[in-house]
Structure 1
């Protein structure tokens, strides 16, 4: 397999359920880097809760965050690319107010949310930056929105369908996310591989969620985790092990390692 770059999802792929990188995954990634393969993180997370893991691995490649809405410089953290979304805010807040849910607004300048929860507490702990606002979002003054997250606690395809004319919709088992039209992890990957002069056929993408479908479908090799749903596995070329069992490392070790050449005297 001729691979020059691999794009790795974080939650449910790189990370365990306790939000750690296993030693085996870390070693597998580092061996790939030593082989000359460019390793990128491609996540739905915002920059502040991506960067600590990027640093832990020792990556020097840009980070794809917020489902492709932002690409960040590996050294400075500065946004190299941002794709903002424009919704009818009055309609959005009216509809979300009618439904029991939490709303999280990811902007270029920070996080705004309707309510505080365990997820936001974790983000605050890891990223060391609390939300800029918590409360009635109709009263919040924000701009340059990169992603809206609507947490309903259950799959809500009928609710999310109300926004399909305005946004790219990603449905989850506990709600949905909205980004700008035509934005995805794959759209961000295309920008990066063009800059690095890498052919899509030389790209591996690995993930487990609905926000990974586009990159698994279009990368030269798409890999679904064992914990991924059927819809995700259906578009992948390979299905590897569960994220709790180092499925990422298992795929890398099986298919991406270059055999060591014997030293010629």
Structure 2
């Protein structure tokens, strides 16, 4: 398989459930880099909790963050591209504020959230930047929203469908996310491919979530993790192992490395 670039999701793909990159995954990525393949991270995370892993691997490529709403420069961390989403805020908060679930609003200037949780504590620890606001979001003064995340604790397609005229909707098992119309990891990948003058046919993308489906369908080779849902697996050309069992490395070793024995641990 002749590949010039690979775009890798983070949670459920690159990382274990404990938020670590396994040695085998790291070695496989190093193998690709040694063979001249450009390696990119494409994640739903914001920049501050993406950059430490980008640095750990030693990448020098732009980072796709917040499901494609932001692309950050590898060296400076500055946003090369930002796509803001505009909702009817009064209507959004009417539908979400009185319910017992968390709301997180990622803006160009930081995170605003209804309440804190383990995830936000982890983000603060890794990114070294706490939320700018925690509390009733109707009272928060924020602007330039890149992504809304509504954590209902269960699939909520009826609620998320109410926003489809205003935003791109990503449904999860525990809620949904909203980004600007026509924004996705794939839209950001297209921008990067134009910059690097790569054809989609020469690209691999690998992921496990509903926010990965479009990129898996659109690149030359789409790979779903073993822990992905059937919907994600159906969108892919290949299905690899579980993220807890180094499924990322398994695919790279088997199909991408030209001389795997050189990198075997």
Question: Shorter-chain TM-score: what band?
Answer: over 0.9
Contact map agreement 2:47 2:72 (CA 8 A) in 1 = yes
Contact map agreement 2:224 2:233 (CA 8 A) in 1 = yes
2:164 equivalent in structure 1: 164
Pair 1:204-2:204 in alignment: yes
1:35 equivalent in structure 2: 35
1:147 equivalent in structure 2: 147
Runs of 4+ more than 3 Å apart: none
2:132 equivalent in structure 1: 132
1:231 equivalent in structure 2: 231
Shift of 1:258: 1.4
Shift of 1:28: 0.3
Partner deviation per Cα, 1:138-194 (whole Å, 9 max, x = no partner):
111110000000000011000100100000000000000000000000000000011
1:12 equivalent in structure 2: 12
2:110 equivalent in structure 1: 110
Count residues in correspondence.
Answer: 260
Shift of 1:2: 1.3
1:245 equivalent in structure 2: 245
Q: Distance in 2 between matches of 1:258 and 1:84?
A: 41
Contact map agreement 2:67 2:185 (CA 8 A) in 1 = yes
1:154 aligned counterpart, secondary structure: coil
Q: Distance in 2 between matches of 1:99 and 1:117?
A: 16
Shift of 1:209: 0.2
Contact map agreement 2:97 2:136 (CA 8 A) in 1 = no
2:97 aligned counterpart, secondary structure: helix
2:213 equivalent in structure 1: 213
Give the alignment's TM-score, normalised by structure 2. 0.97
Please report the RMSD computed on the Cα atoms of aligned residues, expressed in angstroms: 0.7
Shift of 1:252: 0.1
Q: Distance in 1 between matches of 2:99 and 2:140?
A: 19
Shift of 1:259: 3.3
1:190 aligned counterpart, secondary structure: helix
Shift of 1:99: 2.6
* Unpaired stretches in structure 2, ≥5 consecutive residues: 261-265
Q: Distance in 1 between matches of 2:239 and 2:225?
A: 6
1:87 equivalent in structure 2: 87
Shift of 1:3: 0.4
